[in-house]
Amino acid sequence: MYSVTQHRPSYIIILAAVLGAIYDSYYLGIYGIATLLFPLIALFIYNVQITIFTNRWTRLFTTIIIVTAFEVFSAIIMVAFGFAHLNFINFVVYQLAPTLLLNIILAVALQFPLEIFYRLKKSHGRYN
């Protein structure tokens, strides 16, 4: 999410597609789901970056929204094409909740180091 401010949109989309293909091959075993969703998420972040990077709370809530959207949309795609049969309770308990918990912990723990690494400041010209 932080690197969107540092690179051109075309580079971010290509990188997201490549990372999506790697994610598909390792975690899902079905090519196309993350390869489609990662670039769409990158475009979303690029288009709303001025709002997202205003403070730490908006970055945290954006992380929660993006992770939830990715998990829900990937589950919907898998069910729609018959790759999986999901029970909503099992999906929330065994897939969505642990993923959200881990991502929230990582977002909180890494937020300050990433701000320093990417030099995010409110005085940055891009955010005024």
29 dihedral zone (left: phi>0; alpha: psi -120 to 50; beta): left
| Sign for the pseudo-dihedral over CA of 127, 51, 54, 42 | negative
* Per-residue pLDDT tens digits for 11-54: 989 999 999 999 988 887 777 899 999 999 998 888 887 777 77
Region for 124 from its dihedrals, namely left if φ exceeds 0, alpha if ψ lies in -120 to 50, beta otherwise = beta
pTM over 0.85: no
